[in-house]
């Protein structure tokens, strides 16, 4: 990240941005009044790295406190990023276009790149905690419909709204399940 070949007055993280001039001497951070500071705000390498511990399931639990959604967000090079996406990108490169990063371990706090995978929004929603159906249930619903059961009967059996059953059976939702 930081290199000695960084031009004077530019951020040492390598982002290419000019750094501001220090308004005063700050001995703790090494700033000298009237001189450019070494890093742009939020770009210091110690703040760009994410520290974590590994739990018994192999999940990497960041030291930062999770948000009320359960995800961990931190500042990296002046941008707020989600920890699990940051670590996946660091290990695998950019998230493919049209994809989202989904936790296979179902632990939103985990940032282990081996515990997440890129999936479509539809698949991510189907796997989510609010999903009422599974692929196996959808297959069973479709089998019941082809054997003459009504959408209403299927909805009662699976404890879902009749519209939910109808859309799953007719392939308007769960299109990826055959």
- Asked if 147 and 94 sit in the same domain, the reply is no
CA 157 to CA 29: how far, in whole Å?
Answer: 65
What 54-62 contacts at long range (C-beta under 8 Å, 24+ apart), as own/partner pairs, is 54/112, 57/105, 57/107, 58/105, 58/112, 58/114, 58/115, 59/105, 59/107, 59/109, 59/110, 59/112, 59/115, 60/87, 60/110, 60/111, 60/112, 60/115, 61/109, 61/110, 61/111, 62/109, 62/111
pTM of the model: 0.59
Is the Cβ–Cβ distance between 19 and 37 less than 8 Å? yes
- Asked if 37 and 54 sit in the same domain, the reply is no
> Per DSSP, what are the bridge partners of residue 60?
54
- Asked if 3 and 31 sit in the same domain, the reply is yes
CA 2 to CA 10: how far, in whole Å?
Answer: 11
Instruction: Say if 177 falls within a structural domain.
Output: no
Number of domains in the chain: 3
Is the Cβ–Cβ distance between 108 and 62 less than 8 Å? no
Residue range(s) defining the domain that contains residue 21: 1-41
User: What phi and psi, each to the nearest 5 degrees, are found at residue 47?
Assistant: -90, -15
Instruction: Say if 174 falls within a structural domain.
Output: no
3-state secondary structure of 168: helix
Q: Using 50, 70 and 90 to split pLDDT, how confident is the model at 1? A: very low
Tell me the CATH number at 79.
3.90.75.20
Q: Kindly report, residue by residue over 164-174, the tens digit of the pLDDT.
A: 899 899 988 88
Q: Using 50, 70 and 90 to split pLDDT, how confident is the model at 78? A: low
Q: Using 50, 70 and 90 to split pLDDT, how confident is the model at 45? A: low
């Amino acid at each position: 990240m930081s290199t000695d070949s960084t031009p004077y007055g530019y951020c040492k993280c390598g982002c290419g941005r000019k750094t501001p001039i220090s308004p005063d001497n700050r001995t703790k951070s090494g700033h000298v009044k009237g001189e450019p500071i070494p890093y742009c705000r939020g770009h210091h390498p110690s703040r760009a790295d994410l520290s974590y511990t590994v739990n018994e399931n192999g999940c990497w639990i960041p030291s930062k406190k999770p948000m009320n959604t359960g995800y961990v967000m931190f500042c990296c090079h002046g941008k707020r990023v989600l920890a699990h996406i940051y670590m996946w990108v660091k290990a695998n490169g950019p998230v493919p276009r049209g994809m989202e990063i989904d936790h296979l371990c179902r632990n939103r706090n985990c940032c282990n790149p081996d515990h997440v995978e890129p999936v479509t929004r539809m698949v991510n929603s189907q796997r989510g905690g609010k999903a009422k159906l599974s692929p196996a249930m959808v297959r069973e619903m479709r089998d019941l419909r082809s054997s003459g059961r009504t959408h209403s009967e299927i909805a009662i059996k699976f404890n879902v709204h009749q519209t939910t059953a109808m859309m799953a059976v007719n392939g308007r939702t769960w299109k990826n399940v055959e």
